[in-house]
Structure 1
Amino acid sequence: MSRRDRVSSPCVSICALDENDVCVGCQRTSDEIMQWPRLSDEERREVLEKVALREEKVMIH
């Protein structure tokens, strides 16, 4: 599998952490951002599932 085929980062170049250590741009935690390059595609998909849940919470508030 080439790098091009890997699960892409959700980064939108709006990099700022909120009071909960979550990026307001991509909704990943600082740990998830730092670990992203080393994660397998399966692990990246797990992070993206968490991101989706965080995005839902942001929309509700």
Structure 2
Amino acid sequence: MSDINKPCIKKCCLNEEEICLGCFRTFNDMRLWNKASIEEKKEMMEIAERRKIEHAVKSTPSKK
């Protein structure tokens, strides 16, 4: 199986929790990416996708 490409979109901006608001990986995920196994990368990406969805929900103004 081939490796997983970095999900970086070159819009890095860490929030107060050290999560990038471009790719939604943690600073630690970014630091460990090149040495991580494919399974570890898949897990990082699944968690990042959940963070992205949570961020979108929090950022969407509620309609009242």
**TM-score (structure 2 length as normaliser):** 0.85
Unaligned stretches of 5+ residues in structure 2: 59-64
Candidates 2, 15, 18, aligned match of 2:15: 18
Match of 1:38 in 2: 35
Q: Residue by residue, what CA displacement relative to the aligned partner does 1:1-28 show, whole Å, maximum 9, x if unpaired?
A: 6xxx311111000111001110011100
Greater helix fraction, Structure 1 or Structure 2 = 1
Equivalent-residue separation in structure 2 for 1:40 and 1:46 (angstroms): 10
Match of 1:6 in 2: 3
Equivalent-residue separation in structure 1 for 2:20 and 2:28 (angstroms): 11
The letter of the residue matching 1:45 is K
The letter of the residue matching 2:16 is E
Q: Percent identity?
A: 31
- TM-align CA RMSD: 1.0
Aligned length: 58
Larger Rg: 2
